Each structure stands twice: as C-alpha cells, then as structure tokens.
Amino acid sequence: MCVLTAILEPSAPAQRQELDTIDVRLGAAPVPVEGTDGRTHIGYELHVTAPAQGGDLQLERLEVFGEREVEPLVSYGPDELEGRVRPDVERNARYGRVVRRDTTAVVNVWVTVPQGRRAPRFLCNELRGSGAGKETVVGDLRVNVRQRAPLVMGPPLRGGLWISHNGPGDHRAAHWGSVLVKGRRITVPQRFAIDFLGLDATGRGVRGPLQDSSNADWVGFGAEVIAVADGVIRESRDGVVDNPPLFEPGPPASLELPATGGNYVVLQLGGKTMVHYAHLQQGSVAVRTGQRVRRGQLLGRLGNSGNTNGAHLHFNVVDDALIANAEGLPYVFDSFEVLGTTTVDAAFGDAATYPSPPAQVRRALPFNSAIVGFPRN
Ligand SMILES: [Zn+2]
C-alpha cells in the first residue's frame, strides 16, 4: 500500500499548515486489461480517510497522470466524483463526494490508456478537496501498475449470445460497487464480475411478455456452463430450488457463495485463483468437490437459484477461497465475438437492440453492456 502525504495548499501564506491526517491508500494493485473496445484499461480504487479532528472533507478533483504524460489520463471534476465516490463505506453509504470526519470513502478510478501506447508503469493520482478551513487539500499518490498480463481463459458458456451485465468499467454497477470492510481492510471481491444474460438473434432476453414468463422462457436458462481452463473443483453445491422470474430474494447475509450463489461451482485454477459460477439450475451441477476438470468440460446449466431474480450466470475471478478475504482479478477470454451493446432494460422490454454484425475479439474482457457471442466448441 502507498500512503499519501497530504499538504494544505495555502490560500494565503499565513494560513499554511501541514495536514498529515488525511490518509489515501490504494486498494488492490491494478493490472492493465484489454477491453472489448480494443483499448487497455486500468481499474482500481483509492481509499480516502478524513481526519478525526476538523470538519468534513469535500473532494473536488482527481487527476491521474501516466509516467510521462503531461495531459491527465483521467480528470474527474465535482460532478464526476459525485457518482464515483462512496463515502463512509463502513455504513455502506450511497454516492456523494463529502467524506465525513473519521470515515473512509472509496473512489473508483478507471484509466483508459491512449491508443497505441503501452500501459504506464505507474500512475500519479492528484486529489484535491476542500477541508475545514476552506483550504485546498492536495494529495499525490503514486500507484504502481503491475506489469503482468491478466489471466487468459476459455469461454464460460458454450455458444449463444449474451449481454455482459453489471460488467467491468461501470463504476456504479452492483459488482464493482460491492465493497467489503473488515477492520482497516477494504476489499472489492467482485471488481470484474459479470452477469451473463442470454439473448436471442433479435436481441431479446425472454420469449413472450416478461411479466408472465417462466424460467424456461428466458433465453439463457439451461445453457451449458463450462470450465474456462483445466483445474480442480474447489467447492460445488446443488439442490437449491430455482426462483421464479422477478422474485425478490432480499439482501443476503453475506457475499460468500453459500449465502448468494444458490447452486454454484468454484473452479480452482492453481495457486489461490478461484473462478466462481453462480445461480446454476437445480439438479444440473455435473461436478463434485475435488474433481479435476478440463477446459470446456460441462460444470452445470445456467439457472436462477440464490440471490437472483432472473436466469443468469454470475461469473467472477478472485484471489482467495473466501470472498471476505478476496480481491476481484481481471481476466480475458481468449476468443469470442462482440455484436454491439445493449442494456437489460432493452433486452427485457419492448425496445430490444438488434445485435450488430459480429466482430472477432481476442484476449479481451467483455465490458458492461457488450453483446458477446461465445464459440460453440
Ligand atoms: Zn452477479
């Protein structure tokens, strides 16, 4: 972790004072990842703790510079910060850029590397805010970027068209927004998680009207969920009844898979890297704990069990067996198609977006709202 030394920028020399109690830290070390837009992206969070003494801290601007950049790669003003800062993560507060004293806020940062450039080795984060005496706080936090490639894996589903929902790059999506706080430790286990919902060739997610639909009417229901790589089944569960569509399951007791996943499979890829497949169809789980599987092997079928109100596959990659200890890891699928973008509202409402002609993509992370086509074999 890097720790910021913050100083107050003087509005007049006489008012100059040191302020070393604002603490800005980096969450998980960022890893650059190629997105479905053909660009390299770096997603991470800054944790900002306002001092116990003094007034509230209002965040005003964040600029992020690469190692040789003169122009910032990211420049968030007050409006942008308003939607990117979650103040008081311990009490799970909504969005807003005022950090109350003695509380910690999380700022989601998404850096897009200019076309044709390599990912920077480090990023300088310049954070400004107004503090107790209306002074401007200037922080300068250097974040090292890991120079390693993200995990490359095969498709998680056999064939079909899918919307990448709640997916990477959307700072307000439920996955990147689900922050865990344990003492001083803040983790984001679902940073790059995706909910895959099936689409037909016309971009619709359900056959017939949504309100009257059964699970079987949802295009993705029953699709083959497969191993993204060779590995060992670390954990699996079956026997949980699928929810009817639009059922509201209520808040789960924790983010651990037994509380949220319904029928699920955890595939261990080596080391502590775990791949989560959740909400599988009751009676479909085809593997047992301890079993070795090969890439492409059937694990189960897409369902609607657990903390879900519509048939989808929750897919995530983390660095620990326990969610409470895990950080979400970026990953790329080695080969798939992208057919434009859509939204769940469109796909399940009256205005479905017709998929565009397919573009072949290699080694990329499907971004939020991308329409993805996975290979049949
Ligand atoms: Zn999910």
Which pLDDT band holds residue 352 (cuts at 50, 70, 90)? confident
160 and 11 in a single domain? The answer is: no
Of 120, 144, 168, which residue sits at a domain end?
144
191 and 238 housed in the same domain: yes
With a cut of 60, say whether residue 79 has pLDDT above it.
Answer: yes
Looking at the fold, whether 140 and 162 belong to one and the same domain comes out as no
* Count of structural domains within the chain: 2
What is the CA(112)–ligand 1 centre distance, in A? Answer: 24
Same domain, 81 and 155: no
Give distance in angstroms: CA of 206 to centre of ligand 1: 19
Q: Which of the four pLDDT bands, split at 50, 70 and 90, describes residue 18?
A: very low
The CATH code of the domain that includes 60 is 2.60.40.10
Distance 24 CA to ligand 1 centre (A): 29
Residue 191: give the domain boundaries.
Answer: 151-373
Amino acid present at 274: M
Q: How far is the CA of 172 from the centre of ligand 1 (A)?
A: 13
213 and 358 in a single domain? The answer is yes
Q: Are residues 314 and 182 in the same domain?
A: yes
Which of 144, 179, 205 terminates a domain? The answer is 144
Average pLDDT, the chain: 88
Is residue 2 included in any domain, yes or no?
A: no
CB count within 10 Å of CB 362 equals: 11
312 and 192, same structural domain?
Answer: yes
Q: Cα of 309 to ligand 1 centre, how many Å?
A: 11
C-alpha 289/C-alpha 231 separation (Å) is 11
Distance 376 CA to ligand 1 centre (A): 23
d(CA 261, ligand 1 centre) in Å: 9
Q: 15 falls in which pLDDT band (50, 70, 90)? A: very low
Mean pLDDT of 349-374: 94
If one compares 26 and 244, the residue with the highest pLDDT of the two is: 244
Q: Which of 144, 161, 181 is the last residue of a domain?
A: 144
Q: Write down the pLDDT at residue 141.
A: 82
Q: What is the dihedral of CA 75, 65, 369, 80, to 10 degrees?
A: -20
* pTM check: above 0.85: yes
Q: In this predicted model, what pLDDT tens digit does every residue of 94-108 receive, in sequence order?
A: 899 999 988 899 999
Average pLDDT over residues 246-255: 88
Residues 204 and 110 in one domain: no
| Statement to judge: residues 134 and 211 lie in one domain | no
| Same domain (yes/no): 108, 191 | no
Distance 162 CA to ligand 1 centre (A): 14
Alpha carbon of 13 to ligand 1 centroid (Å)? 51
- What DSSP state is assigned to residue 245? T
Measured in Å, residue 341 CA sits from the centre of ligand 1 at 18
Segment 281-304, tens digit of pLDDT: 999 999 999 999 999 999 999 999
Distance 202 CA to ligand 1 centre (A): 24
| pLDDT tens per residue, range 146-156 | 888 899 999 99
- 119: amino acid identity, one letter: A
Asked whether 367 and 167 are in contact (CB, 8 A), the reply is: yes
- In the reported structure, the alpha carbon of residue 279 is separated from the centroid of ligand 1 by a whole-number distance in angstroms of 9
Provide the CB-side half-sphere exposure for 306 (13 A, CA): 27
CA distance 365 to 234: 24
Q: How far is the CA of 248 from the centre of ligand 1 (A)?
A: 15
Spacing, Cα 58 to ligand 1 middle (Å): 32
Q: How far is the CA of 320 from the centre of ligand 1 (A)?
A: 18
CA of 105 to the centre of ligand 1 (A): 23
Please give the distance, rounded to the nearest whole angstrom, from the Cα atom of residue 195 to the centre of ligand 1.
5
**Ligand 1 centroid vs 146 CA: distance in angstroms?**
26
Domain of 298: which CATH number?
A: 2.70.70.10
- Confidence class of residue 235 from pLDDT cuts 50, 70 and 90? very high
**Centre of ligand 1 from the C-alpha of residue 280, in Å:** 12
pLDDT at 255: 86
- Same-domain status, 264 and 135: no
Q: Given this model, what pLDDT does residue 132 score?
A: 60
How many angstroms does the Cα of residue 122 sit away from the middle of ligand 1? 30
| Contact assessment for residue 207 and residue 217, using Cβ atoms and an 8 Å cutoff | yes
Q: What angle do CA 94, 96, 98 make, to 5 degrees?
A: 125
DSSP code, position 206: B
Q: What is the CA(68)–ligand 1 centre distance, in A?
A: 37
Taking the centre of ligand 1 as the mean of its atom positions, its distance from the CA of residue 193, in whole angstroms, is 6
Strand segments, DSSP code E, in 302-330 are 313-318
**104 exposure class (CB count in 10 Å sphere: 0-12, 13-18, 19+):** buried
Flag whether 315 is in a domain. Answer: yes
> What spacing in Å lies between the alpha carbon of 243 and ligand 1's midpoint?
15
Residue 307 alpha carbon to ligand 1 centre in Å: 9
